[in-house]
Amino acid sequence: MAFPATRLRRLRRTGALRSMVRETRLTPENFVYPLFVCPGEGVRKEVRSMPGVFNLSVDETVKEAREAQSLGIPALILFGLPEKKDEIATGAWDENGIVQRAARAIKAAVPDMVVIGDVCLCEYMSHGHCGVVRSSHGPRSVGAAARESSAAVAVKRGAVPKAIDAAAAKLAHQPEYEIVNDATLELLEKTSVSLARAGVDIIAPSDMMDGRVAAIRKALDEAQFENTPILSYAAKFSSAFYGPFREAADSAPQFGDRRSYQMDGANIREAMREIELDIEEGADMVMVKPAMPYLDVIAAARERFDLPIAAYQVSGEYAMIEAAARNNWVDRDRVIAESLTSIRRAGASVIVTYHAKDAAKLLD
Ligand code: PBG
């Protein structure tokens, strides 16, 4: 039945009516609050590009855990800034690593808090990549690269310097290194087991190596952590929205980028394959990341798979909201609530967000 019998505005007339028919609700129970743990004591160092987000020493993370709990936030996800970085990510799997220490302290002080451990190596590797790096064999010099490309394209006489320029540019972008998949898995297994030993409740691999969920599941089971769930960052896109995080976690790659392991932002079918494989390998929950630019991926995953789906509202999403709000260009509170609601509406049950505390206060 159409207008005038049907008038959709009837149910929008008052706050009580709108609330009664609201389809999507936001509650702090859906939130996961990320923390960046650093060495020292009494340290609270604000991240320049993420106002309101801090690098925190272990004692300060415990304070944050208490506050999060008092606001009804059930879970934290921990990232670490180790004392030292090396080529085998020792800080990630060291029994006394920074995240292991924080997890123990948080579980001792706030036992009900769900502590999620992000499993990745980039914060602990001297080169900032998420896996073991081996140099591979591209052309070894500009001359060699130029010879290759002038063989491919017939170079006219006089155009040679140009060809050399082009070859030099190409060489600069050529991968001369490789992120070695299977060698990385061993380090991820060690990291996961050591986090579980430190009391971490959920293991969340974010490295995007192939086969890591199966490898981690097996390692956890062998170490008798068969009850520890895996939340896999299954569809993690290679995104410019991670920029501020790399400052917060000091994890920017020192050369190249992450495109050989994180997904191409154009691919939704491949995202479904990634999720499907992680489920087959034993993931208990899957994550889509970033959130707002990939709401369609969240919605497609929700339609297709029957396990809890998480979404990560990443550092760049947070930074954009904060920057616009600081300029009084948007209403901060309303933009926070609206962006989180849209992620829930798309189908995420769990949202990792730097706005967790602010949003919980808004909802109070
Ligand atoms: C580790 C990791 C990253 C994020 C979560 N885990 C960074 C990256 O992949 O470069 C990004 C989170 C954010 O931007 O808030 N690999």
Long-range contacts of 44-51 (CB under 8 A, 24+ apart): 47/244, 47/247, 47/248, 48/247, 49/243, 49/244, 49/247, 49/248, 49/315, 49/319, 50/244, 50/247, 50/248, 50/315, 50/318, 50/319, 50/322, 50/354, 51/322, 51/326
The model's pLDDT over 9-45, given as tens digits with 9 standing for 90+, comes to 999 999 999 999 999 999 999 999 999 999 999 999 9
Q: Which pLDDT score, from 0 to 100, does residue 178 have?
A: 92
Helix (H, G, I), strand (E, B) or coil at 117: strand
Tokens read off for 59: 């004692």
Instruction: Say how far apart CA 155 and CA 164 lie, in whole Å.
Output: 10
| Contact of 249 with 91, CB cutoff 8 Å | no
Instruction: Say how far apart CA 94 and CA 148 lie, in whole Å.
Output: 45
Instruction: Say how far apart CA 104 and CA 196 lie, in whole Å.
Output: 10
Nearest CA, atom 12, ligand 1? 314
Residues 6+ apart with CB under 8 A from 199: 103, 104, 106, 107, 115
Does the beta carbon of 314 sit less than 6 angstroms from any atom of ligand 1?
A: yes
The model's pLDDT over 275-298, given as tens digits with 9 standing for 90+, comes to 999 999 999 999 999 999 999 999
| Contact of 55 with 38, CB cutoff 8 Å | yes
The model's pLDDT over 161-182, given as tens digits with 9 standing for 90+, comes to 555 556 555 555 556 899 999 9
To test the pocket of ligand 1, the residue of 245, 247, 287 to mutate (highest count of ligand atoms within 8 Å of its CB) is: 245
Residue whose tokens read 């005038």: 4
Provide the residue type at 18 as one letter.
R
Does the beta carbon of 346 sit less than 6 angstroms from any atom of ligand 1?
A: no
The arithmetic mean of pLDDT across residues 335-360, rounded, is: 98
pLDDT for 250 beyond 90:
yes
Helix (H, G, I), strand (E, B) or coil at 108: helix
Q: Measured from the CA of 130, which atom of ligand 1 is nearest?
A: 16
Q: Which pLDDT score, from 0 to 100, does residue 298 have?
A: 98
pTM for the full predicted model: 0.89
| Contact of 123 with 251, CB cutoff 8 Å | yes
Q: Which pLDDT score, from 0 to 100, does residue 169 have?
A: 56
What is the chain's mean pLDDT, rounded?
92
| CA–centroid distance, residue 242 to ligand 1 (Å) | 6
The arithmetic mean of pLDDT across residues 290-317, rounded, is: 98
Instruction: Say how far apart CA 156 and CA 208 lie, in whole Å.
Output: 44
